[in-house]
Amino acid sequence: MESLLQHLDRFSELLAVSSTTHVSTWDPATVRRALQWARYLRHIHRRFGRHGPIRMALERRLHNQWRQEGGFGRGPVPGLANFQALGHCDVLLSLRLLENRALGDASRYHLVQQLFPGPGVRDADEETLQESLARLARRRSAVHLLRFNGYRENPNLQEDSLMKTQAELLLERLQEVGKAEAERPARFLSSLWERLPQNNFLKVIAVALLQPPVSPRPQEELEPSIHKSPGEGSQVLVHWLLGNSEVFAAFCRALPAGLLTLVTSRHPSLSPVYLGLLTDWGQRLHYDLQKGIWVGTESQDVPWEELHNRFQSLCQAPPPLKDKVLTALETCKAQDGDFEVPGLSIWTDLLLALRNGAFRERQVLGLSPGLSSV
Amino acid sequence: MAQDSVDLSCDYQFWMQKLSIWDQASTLETQQDTCLHLAQFQEFLRKMYEALKEMDSNTVLERFPTIGQLLAKACWNPFILAYDESQKILIWCLCCLINKEPQNSGQSKLNSWIQGVLSHILSALRFDKEVALFTQGLGYAPIDYYPGLLKNMVLSLASELRENHLNGFNTQRRMAPERVASLSRVCVPLITLPDIDPLVEALLICHGREPQEILQPEFFEAVNEAILLKKISLPMSAVVCLWLRHLPSLEKAMLHLFEKLISSERNCLRRIECFIKDSSLPQAACHPAIFRVVDEMFRCALLETDGAPEIIATIQVFTQCFVEALEKESKQLRFALKTYFPYTSPSLAMVLLRDPQDIPRGHWLQTLKHISELLREAVEDQTHGSRGGPFESWFLFIHFGGWAEMVAEQLLMSAAEPPTALLWLLAFYYGPRDKRQQRAQTMVQVKAVLGHLLAMSRSSSLSAQDLQTVAGQGTDTDLRAPAQQLIRHLLLNFLLWAPEGHTIAWDVITLMAHTAEITHEIIGFLDQTLYRWNRLGIESPRSEKLARELLKELRTQV
């Protein structure tokens, strides 16, 4: 067991080095050895992937490595992403070496011979490295073809395949971090917030929060799920959002009303904070007598239309959320003086607008409030 | 060898041109043209590789100075990269160009360039920048998430198609026909990639509200080809949709079956049954439209081969598999018999479709008489003008081997006076084209033979010579071929069932089988009889043993 773990250590180092200029010192023999090690580990993964103790030992070792590297905060993990990655560690190594311009001519030549020996090389039980690489290339073309010949961004973000994939990856990563205890997941998320394009990140978080409870990622080899359910990941995200008001404000600002309504319905703990934000935004607006509309003082203030939009969306949500929202609005209206006349309290005007909107909607649907329902 | 290399050079020019026209296959025309040529181009690549691997890098460049361009153009066409093994062979070809020890900057540059192309095939991320940054930021390499991404995209597209199918006129969620057509084109190179199966299934099963066919014919052809070569596995419902939407595919599937049957061992019903079941055609035929096309093709084959016994046997086995499949269909989805056999009286169709196993043995005679009456009515009735006349009735009858083959046996089993109805049925089965008078004559001859056989069965000893005399009037020029065959089969039946039959069986057969054709006929008869006994659960160890021995012996002789 110990030798296996050491093997894993050495391979991880190898993998990290394989994308640096250090490979210029590698001779063909080194290349061959590296590939052999990768193959060995892949074989181990295949044989012991279901074997609880061995798997756990390997995972723990990987987590150790990450802790030593200072956690996830530093950027892309130079080594293996997770235990499943062992299943294709040879592909990982091969691709890094192939891309590395620092590799010497003789070594590169040898590498290519090893990776692509030509036809007639078949392995009875396992897929050869050549086949794996060819299949990766084929799948990439497939994604490319579908992306540019049939894919349309789904207006419901949570059903969009690109978004879903990113969300699944995020949830999976959160799980790993949780297990590795390399750092609190919150810190990990904060580091991502600083590094990644924020708009996309926010969307991914929203989609992740809307994922159905059980959705394990497809693996090439079947593995029993010894992990906790992905629902844990959502909890982590909610917790983090609640703990980072700046992020949450951006979250509520950037995402469309409908999406936020869905998220808040699904995760009720978010609704008080969301409503709080909306209230704050509302209070920043004042009534412009001349124009006859509610306006903000600064450019980044949320305009009336958007505010109205969000409240409207929330009111279309099923109870208890809908009721909470209406109650909150009524409370604000009461605090302002409980006016019925427009132009004095934004909450009055909002409630009026919402009721009118609802009335009009019922008319459109053919339901007049005067008639009793059939 | 020299000729090969000349061919290769010609092909090279051809493909260079094609690739230049196709470019990145971004238009409808270039995509369609690429799809048409995918298989041939892959063949060319294989030949190219075989030639290149014998040479070293410098020789390659001397021989094919523009090879780099050719390979690069191929790599930039996503349809080519997506197809079957083309990406692998392209990589092999590129590897042949790599210089082990570059001597000058030119060679180094070439190596570098090749590295770039390999990267492009394997790793370059031609994707949304944001997605790329995100996944990288999380620490994932493409190999980690590409399978999942592909799966999500495929499932998402499949569910969009399904919604499109169900929601019909809800224009908000409608998928434009061009988009569906585009998807079907894209599936052509990917057809053997298992990840794509849900999308292929959805494309086949879901059709929008357009009156004309949207999917591209090359898509149907590619799917059909993959099904026939077992390179894809789709649910039966998808296969049925394919064959309903694209008639040439159904025809090709039938022809593929015929080819397999022709090239396989003659006269082995068990093997025929395997091939037929394997082809999924019996289950598909539960849909009447498909059944009618299949039946039509059988009819043509029968007419073209002038009633070849192998075709008749195939039709019988097919019908049996079809009826079994029909039984398994849920009762609600079953079509009326009339839709399968529109030109037959419903009562005849119903009685023919009954499985002899479902009827107590004592009633078989009765049922056969009933069948005979109904058939005779159809055949001799001129006023209704049933389509095609006697041939159609005969064609219908021969579908049901369970009954057709049974007549002779039943006649031999009973000691009573042979019923006219059964004599007529037997004569009709073997000689559908006979005129009334000829048939009557045959019936008389058969009756006589039966009488003799009955007498012989009562006597204590049998001789081959006696049997030959009974038959034979076998040298008698009166007897036409159908009657001769009929009588041969009667004799064979007799030999199998008579207690002392085995003693003279071989002698009789030797006398009978004076041509190769007749030998094959006897083999076919024995094989069919054993098959039928097995199916109907007719247990007679002695007869079976005899039949098997005879069969084995005869098979060694042809």
Quote the mean pLDDT of chain B.
87
Q: Please identify among residues 13-52 of chain A the ones whose CB lies closer than 8 Å to any CB of chain B.
A: none
Distance from CA of A29 to the nearest CA of B (A): 15
User: Are both A134 and A27 inside the same structural domain?
Assistant: yes
Rounded Cα gap, residues B558 and B552, in angstroms = 11
Q: Which domain holds residue A179?
A: 153-212+230-253
Q: Please identify among residues 113-132 of chain A the ones whose CB lies closer than 8 Å to any CB of chain B.
A: 113, 116, 118-119, 130
User: Are both A234 and A274 inside the same structural domain?
Assistant: no
Q: Please state the φ and ψ torsions of residue A331, each to the nearest 5 degrees.
A: -60, -45
Q: Confirm whether A330 is domain-assigned.
A: yes
Nearest to B98 among A91, A112, A143 (CB): A112
Supply the DSSP symbol for B128. -
If you average pLDDT over residues B375-387, what whole number do you get? 71
Q: Please give the pLDDT value at position A230.
A: 54
Supply the DSSP symbol for B540. -
User: Are both A264 and A343 inside the same structural domain?
Assistant: yes
Q: Taking a C-beta distance cutoff of 8 angstroms, is the pair B96, B49 a contact?
A: yes
Closest CA to B190 of B153, B243, B165: B153
Q: Chain A residue closest to B121 (CA)?
A: A137
Query: Read out DSSP for A175-213?
Result: HHHHHHTSS-HHHHHHHHHHHS-HHHHHHHHHHHHTS-S
Chain A with chain B: Cβ pairs closer than 8 A: 192
> Helix, strand or coil for residue A297?
coil
Instruction: Look at A346-360, B63-77, B98-112, B517-531 and tell me which has the smallest mean pLDDT.
Output: A346-360
> Helix, strand or coil for residue A87?
helix
Distance from CA of B239 to the nearest CA of A (A): 23
User: Are both A206 and A331 inside the same structural domain?
Assistant: no
With beta carbons under 8 A apart, name residues in chain B contacting A88. 143-144
Q: Please give the pLDDT value at position B327.
A: 86
Q: Please give the pLDDT value at position B20.
A: 94
Q: Confirm whether A368 is domain-assigned.
A: no
If you average pLDDT over residues A59-82, what whole number do you get? 68
If you average pLDDT over residues B181-201, what whole number do you get? 95
Residues in chain A: 374
Residue A367: is its pLDDT beyond 70? no
Rounded Cα gap, residues B143 and A325, in angstroms = 45
With beta carbons under 8 A apart, name residues in chain A contacting B78. 141, 144-145
Contact criterion met (CB < 8 Å) for B82 and A88: no
Q: Confirm whether A121 is domain-assigned.
A: no
DSSP strands (E only) in B226-385: none
Residue A188: is its pLDDT beyond 90? no
Contact criterion met (CB < 8 Å) for A141 and B147: no
User: Are both A159 and A208 inside the same structural domain?
Assistant: yes
B87, with CB counted inside 10 A (0-12, 13-18, 19+), is buried
> Helix, strand or coil for residue A286?
strand
**How many Å separate Cα B534 from the centre of its chain?**
24
Domain end (from A253, A285, A308): A253
Q: Please give the pLDDT value at position B417.
A: 85
Contact criterion met (CB < 8 Å) for A161 and B149: yes
Rounded Cα gap, residues B521 and B488, in angstroms = 10
Rounded Cα gap, residues B325 and B236, in angstroms = 12
Bond prior to A185 in cis (omega within 30° of 0): no
Nearest to B146 among A139, A150, A197 (CB): A139
Rounded Cα gap, residues B525 and B523, in angstroms = 5
With beta carbons under 8 A apart, name residues in chain A contacting B151. 218
For A115-121, the CB contacts below 8 A with 24+ separation are: A115/A35, A116/B88, A116/B91, A116/B92, A116/B95, A118/B49, A118/B53, A118/B92, A119/B92
Rounded Cα gap, residues A216 and A28, in angstroms = 40
Q: Please state the φ and ψ torsions of residue A198, each to the nearest 5 degrees.
A: -75, -40
User: Are both A105 and A20 inside the same structural domain?
Assistant: yes
Rounded Cα gap, residues B429 and B399, in angstroms = 11
Q: Please give the pLDDT value at position B126.
A: 64
> Helix, strand or coil for residue B61?
helix
**B170 CB near a chain A CB, below 8 Å?**
no
Helices marked H in B417-480: 420-430, 436-458, 464-472
Q: Confirm whether A225 is domain-assigned.
A: no
CA dihedral A323, A325, A330, A333 (to 10 degrees): -170
**B122 CB near a chain A CB, below 8 Å?**
yes
Contact criterion met (CB < 8 Å) for A149 and B185: yes
CA of A152: how far to CAs of A145, A161, A201, in Å?
13, 10, 20
Q: Please identify among residues 78-97 of chain B the ones whose CB lies closer than 8 Å to any CB of chain A.
A: 78-79, 81-82, 85, 87-88, 91-92, 95
Residue B3: is its pLDDT beyond 70? no
With beta carbons under 8 A apart, name residues in chain A contacting B101. 105-106
Contact criterion met (CB < 8 Å) for B119 and A147: no
**How many Å separate Cα B47 from the centre of its chain?**
31
CA of B362: how far to CAs of B357, B368, B413, in Å?
11, 11, 12
Q: Chain A residue closest to B124 (CA)?
A: A140
Distance from CA of A77 to the nearest CA of B (A): 5
Rounded Cα gap, residues B465 and B459, in angstroms = 14
Distance from CA of A358 to the nearest CA of B (A): 23
**B123 CB near a chain A CB, below 8 Å?**
yes
Closest CA to A81 of A73, A90, A70, A72: A72
Query: Read out DSSP for A216-234?
Result: PPP-SS-----SPPTHHHH
Closest CA to A42 of A23, A58, A65, A28: A58
**B100 CB near a chain A CB, below 8 Å?**
yes
The CA angle B126-B129-B132, to the nearest 5 degrees, is 80
Of the pLDDT bands very low, low, confident and very high (cuts 50, 70, 90), residue B170 is low
Rounded Cα gap, residues B244 and A6, in angstroms = 60
**B133 CB near a chain A CB, below 8 Å?**
yes
Supply the DSSP symbol for B174. P
Distance from CA of A360 to the nearest CA of B (A): 22
Q: Chain B residue closest to A114 (CA)?
A: B95
Q: Please give the pLDDT value at position A141.
A: 92
Of the pLDDT bands very low, low, confident and very high (cuts 50, 70, 90), residue A71 is low
Nearest to B122 among A72, A136, A169 (CB): A136
**A156 CB near a chain B CB, below 8 Å?**
no
Q: Confirm whether A267 is domain-assigned.
A: yes
Instruction: Look at B153-157, B250-254, B314-318, B501-505 and tell me which has the smallest mean pLDDT.
Output: B501-505
User: Are both A19 and A34 inside the same structural domain?
Assistant: yes
Q: Chain B residue closest to A118 (CA)?
A: B92
- Look up residue B294 and give its two tokens: 């299949």
Contact criterion met (CB < 8 Å) for A146 and B131: no
Q: Pick from B138, B154, B162, B214 the residue to mutate for testing the A interface (most A CBs within 10 Å).
A: B138
**Contacts for A256 with CB less than 8 Å, ≥ 6 apart:** A157
Q: Please give the pLDDT value at position A120.
A: 79
Distance from CA of A220 to the nearest CA of B (A): 8
User: Are both A264 and A248 inside the same structural domain?
Assistant: no
Q: Please give the pLDDT value at position A73.
A: 47
With beta carbons under 8 A apart, name residues in chain B contacting A105. 99-102, 108, 111
Q: Confirm whether A220 is domain-assigned.
A: no
Q: Please give the pLDDT value at position B274.
A: 93
Query: Read out DSSP for A16-64?
Result: HHTTSGGGGG--HHHHHHHHHHHHHHHHHHHHHTT-HHHHHHHHHHHHH
Distance from CA of B178 to the nearest CA of A (A): 9
Q: Please give the pLDDT value at position B479.
A: 56
User: Are both A259 and A336 inside the same structural domain?
Assistant: yes
Closest CA to B471 of B487, B493, B492, B450: B487
Q: In which region does residue A128 sit, left (phi positive, over 0), alpha (psi from -120 to 50) or beta (all else)?
A: beta
Contact criterion met (CB < 8 Å) for A151 and B138: no
Residue A374: is its pLDDT beyond 70? no
Q: Confirm whether A373 is domain-assigned.
A: no
With beta carbons under 8 A apart, name residues in chain A contacting B95. 112-113, 116
With beta carbons under 8 A apart, name residues in chain A contacting B130. 197, 200
User: Are both A183 and A280 inside the same structural domain?
Assistant: no
Q: Confirm whether A122 is domain-assigned.
A: no
CA of A15: how far to CAs of A35, A60, A172, A366, B135, in Å?
10, 18, 22, 66, 19
Encode pLDDT of B211-259 as tens digits: 788 898 999 999 999 999 999 999 999 999 999 999 999 999 999 999 9
User: Are both A141 and A163 inside the same structural domain?
Assistant: no
**A200 CB near a chain B CB, below 8 Å?**
yes
If you average pLDDT over residues A294-305, what whole number do you get? 85
Q: Please give the pLDDT value at position B87.
A: 94
User: Which one is predicted more confidently, A180 or A271?
Assistant: A271
Q: Please give the pLDDT value at position A225.
A: 42
Nearest to B128 among A99, A162, A168 (CB): A162
Encode pLDDT of B279-304 as tens digits: 999 999 999 999 999 999 999 999 99
- Count CB-CB contacts under 10 A for residue A148: 14
Domain of A185, CATH number, reads 1.25.40.490
Q: Please identify among residues 74-113 of chain A the ones whose CB lies closer than 8 Å to any CB of chain B.
A: 75-77, 81, 84-85, 88, 91-92, 95, 98-99, 101, 105-106, 108-109, 112-113
User: Are both A19 and A135 inside the same structural domain?
Assistant: yes
- Residue found by looking up tokens 């994604």 in the block: A143
Encode pLDDT of A91-122 as tens digits: 999 999 998 889 888 899 999 999 998 887 66
ipTM beyond cut 0.95? no
Query: Read out DSSP for B219-263?
Result: HHHHHHHHHHTT-----HHHHHHHHHH-HHHHHHHHHHHHHHHHH
User: Which one is predicted more confidently, B484 or B215?
Assistant: B215
Nearest to B153 among A108, A141, A146 (CB): A146
Domain end (from A204, A220, A253): A253
**Contacts for B321 with CB less than 8 Å, ≥ 6 apart:** B273, B276, B277, B282
Distance from CA of B150 to the nearest CA of A (A): 6
With beta carbons under 8 A apart, name residues in chain A contacting B98. 108-109, 112
Helical (H) or strand (E) element with A294 = strand A293-295
With beta carbons under 8 A apart, name residues in chain A contacting B163. none
Rounded Cα gap, residues A340 and B451, in angstroms = 113
Beta bridge partners of A294: A287
Contact criterion met (CB < 8 Å) for B144 and A75: no
Residue B277: is its pLDDT beyond 50? yes
Residue A304: is its pLDDT beyond 90? no
Closest CA to B93 of B23, B55, B45, B58: B45
- Residue found by looking up tokens 């926010």 in the block: A202
Contact criterion met (CB < 8 Å) for B145 and A165: yes
Closest CA to B248 of B291, B314, B202, B293: B293
- Specify the pTM: 0.87
- Residue found by looking up tokens 């359910």 in the block: A229
> Helix, strand or coil for residue A120?
coil
**B198 CB near a chain A CB, below 8 Å?**
no
Q: Please state the φ and ψ torsions of residue A293, each to the nearest 5 degrees.
A: -135, 165
How many independent structural domains does chain A possess?
3
- Count CB-CB contacts under 10 A for residue B174: 16
Rounded Cα gap, residues B207 and B3, in angstroms = 50
**Between the ranges A201-205, A234-238, A370-374, B356-360, where is the mean pLDDT highest?**
A201-205
Encode pLDDT of A245-288 as tens digits: 999 999 999 999 999 999 999 999 999 999 999 999 988 888 88
Encode pLDDT of A23-48 as tens digits: 899 999 999 999 999 999 998 888 88
Residue B61: is its pLDDT beyond 90? no
Q: Please give the pLDDT value at position B78.
A: 92
